[in-house]
Amino acid sequence: CSSKSFKLYSPKEPPNGNAFPPFHPGTMLDRDVGPTPMYPPTYLEPGIGRHTPYGNQTDYRIFELNKRLQNWTEECDNLWWDAFTTEFFEDDAMLTITFCLEDGPKRYTIGRTLIPRYFRSIFEGGATELYYVLKHPKESFHNNFVSLDCDQCTMVTQHGKPMFTQVCVEGRLYLEFMFDDMMRIKTWHFSIRQHRELIPRSILAMH
C-alpha cells in the first residue's frame, strides 16, 4: 500500500512562493481515516506565487504563528501560552471548530480565556509539533478587519508515541484579523472535513 502524493509545506519558511520539499510516495503509509477526526486541526500552506517577498500580510501572520509554535518545549507553562495567545488573538477573540460525527454535526466555540488551553491541550495530548498549511488562501479587506478564507487548509501534528505518526486534519479555515498594526485574530473558524494518519513504512515493518 503506497501513500498518495501530496505536499506539506514547512512552517519554518515564509510564504514567498519558494519550492518546499514534498513527501515522497512509498515512504509513509497513508491511513485515510475518513471524516471523523481524532485530533484537533492544525496546518496551513503559505501562499504560492506571490509577487511580494512574504505574500499577503495574513499569510505572514500564519507563518509567524507557526514559527512561534515551533518554539514550544515541555517546559512551556501557562504564562507562555497566554503570551502566545495575546500575540495572535484579540481580547474578545472567538475560536470555533466544526466537524461531523456519526450522530451528526458538532460545533464548539471558545473565547479568549480558553484559547491558550486549547492549543496547549494539543501538545499535552501527545503532539510534539503543530503547524497550519494554507493552500490558495483568499484575502479580503473590510471596514475594520481583513478576512482570510482558505478552503484547502491542513492542520499537521506530529506524534512520537507509541510510534511516529503525522496527523493531517483537512478542512476550511476562515479567519478575521483586525486591520491595525498588531493584525491579531478576532475570529477563527475551522470546519473539518477529514483527517489522515501517516506512518513511516520502516516502523510498520518492525511490527
Give me the average pLDDT of each 10-residue run along the chain (207 residues).
Answer: 38 47 38 38 37 63 97 95 98 98 95 98 95 96 94 96 89 96 96 90 62
* Model confidence pLDDT, tens digit, residues 163-183: 889 999 999 999 999 999 899
Q: pTM above 0.75? A: no
| Confidence at residue 107, expressed as pLDDT on a 0 to 100 scale | 98
Domain residue spans in the chain? Answer: 57-205
CB of 168 closer than 8 Å to CB of 75: no
CB of 146 closer than 8 Å to CB of 137: no
| Confidence at residue 11, expressed as pLDDT on a 0 to 100 scale | 52
Cell 483568499: give the residue: 138
Amino acid residing at 52: T
CATH for the stretch 57-205 = 3.10.450.50
Q: What angle, 0 to 180 degrees and rounded to 10, lies between the N-to-C axes of helices 115-124 and 78-88?
A: 130
- Backbone angle region of 183, left / alpha / beta, with phi > 0 → left and psi within -120 to 50 → alpha: left
